[in-house]
Amino acid sequence: MPTLTARDLLFGEVRFPAVWLRDNCHCRDCRDPGTGQKLFGITDLAEEVVVATVSESADEVTLEFQPDGHRSVFPREWLLANAPDPSAATDHRSETAKQLWAAADLTEGLPQAVWRDYVADPRCRAACLEAVLRLGFVLLHGVPGEPGMVLRVADTFGYVRETNYGRLFDVQAKPNPNNLAFTGLTITPHTDNPYRDPVPTLQLLHCLSNAADGGETGLVDGFHAAALLRAEDAAAFQVLTRTPVPFAFRDNEAELRTCSPIIELDPTGLIRGVRFSNRHVQPLRLPYDEVTRFYAAYRAFAARAYAPNLQLNFKLAPGDCVVFDNTRILHARTAFSSVGERHLQGCYADLDSLASTLAVLGREVNT
């Protein structure tokens, strides 16, 4: 039985503030019926909104507000579905929406699919995109080995993020490289492009050939590494969430810089992103004590991120395309020989569009 308490609505155990209810009115004067978007700004409401009367039917609660005399009808189901829940994930990037993993957790089943099924079957596509949000990556097999195909893969869930490297980039050993990625050297686990703001939130790598010795790909759940640090060395974790680290990249055509902590938190204090690539860290210009504390914490995080039990290793075969969350998954590569060709093509894209595509697919798949 809904009642009034201090001029708010008491509905079951839940007290809904009058101003919250007034702001969420769904009537045609308050919301455009076509888009569902609000037609007023917050200062269009009275400063002191109260619920003056409440009445109910089997499935609706009707309120009258003062001082504007506005009437609002709320379905009971809507009130229940929108009741306060501090543990509800704030968005798809929230730590609470993730399943953290170490390599052994995935030996039973990698998130993977065959390209043909991915294209033909919306359920398969939804499962793959859901895996990117929950586990941080998906592996597609049998993607046609044509140059440029990586862009088509990105098109299935979002939009290519063009950068100074172009719409796509070729990862192969080349003379006079502008980036260590384009050599045969070992690359330790890292996230890409930490010097960008905003950072590309997704990366795709499509294997065209991988006949060289070595050249294995490693993936590490950076959220897991950060959560381990939080559990084992809370002070170090705090340091990495609070120290602004300068990152930069420069070549003949570009000079990119930004400053960001290694571990990004959301407003509730949970992990929202990691940015980790020592190749691009610039001199910290902070007081002595802060710098020494930072380096100790940075090493402590790296030790966890580099722990062999966290790292999932596999060798990409021609036709494989891995799609991963670049705000979470660190990727690595073992050294490869100059004998035998190794050629990957990569591109960047963004998680928000992937999440949107999944939500729209969910409308079809779940009905």
Q: Of 239-268, which residues contact Zn ion (CB under 5 A)? A: none
| Close Cβ partners of 183 (under 8 Å, ≥ 6 residues apart) | 173, 177
Task: Extract the runs of DSSP E, i.e. beta strands, from 76-134.
Answer: 112-114
From 300, 330, 80, 119, select the one nearest 218 (Cα to Cα): 330
DSSP per-residue codes, 66-78: ETT--EEEEEHHH
Choice between 2 and 215, CB closer to Zn ion:
2
- Binding piece for Zn ion, criterion CB under 5 A, among 27-35, 130-138, 196-204, 215-223: 27-35
Q: Name the residue nearer to Zn ion (CB basis): 25 or 344.
A: 25
Nearer to Zn ion, 29 or 213 (CB): 29
Q: How far is 300 from 277, CA to CA, in rounded Å? A: 14
- Residue 88 near Zn ion by CB under 5 A: no
Task: Give the residue with the Cβ less far from Zn ion, 25 or 228.
Answer: 25
What is the length of the chain? 367
Spell out, one character per residue from 167 to 206, where the chain touches Zn ion: x when CB under 5 A holds, - when not.
Answer: ----------------------------------------
| Least distance between Zn ion and beta carbon 27 (Å) | 3
State which residue, 56 or 117, has the beta carbon closest to Zn ion.
56
Q: What angle do CA 34, 40, 43 make, to 5 degrees?
A: 165
Binding Zn ion (rule: CB under 5 A), the pick from 9, 18, 21, 25 is 25
> Locate tokens 């398969």: which residue?
124
14 near Zn ion (CB under 5 A)? no
CB of 115 to Zn ion, least distance (A): 48
Contact with Zn ion (CB under 5 A): which of 27, 39, 88, 317? 27
329 SS3 class = strand
CB nearer to Zn ion: pick between 7 and 242: 7
By CB under 5 A, name the one of 10, 17, 24, 30 that touches Zn ion.
Answer: 30
Of 38 and 242, the one with the shorter C-beta distance to Zn ion is 38
Q: Please, what is the end-to-end C-alpha distance for the chain in angstroms?
A: 33
Find the shortest distance in angstroms from Cβ 278 to Zn ion.
Answer: 55
Contact predicate 180/332, CB 8 Å: no
Backbone region of residue 9 per phi and psi (left: phi > 0; alpha: psi in -120 to 50; beta: other values): beta
DSSP 96: G
- Using CB under 5 A, list all residues that contact Zn ion: 25, 27, 29-30
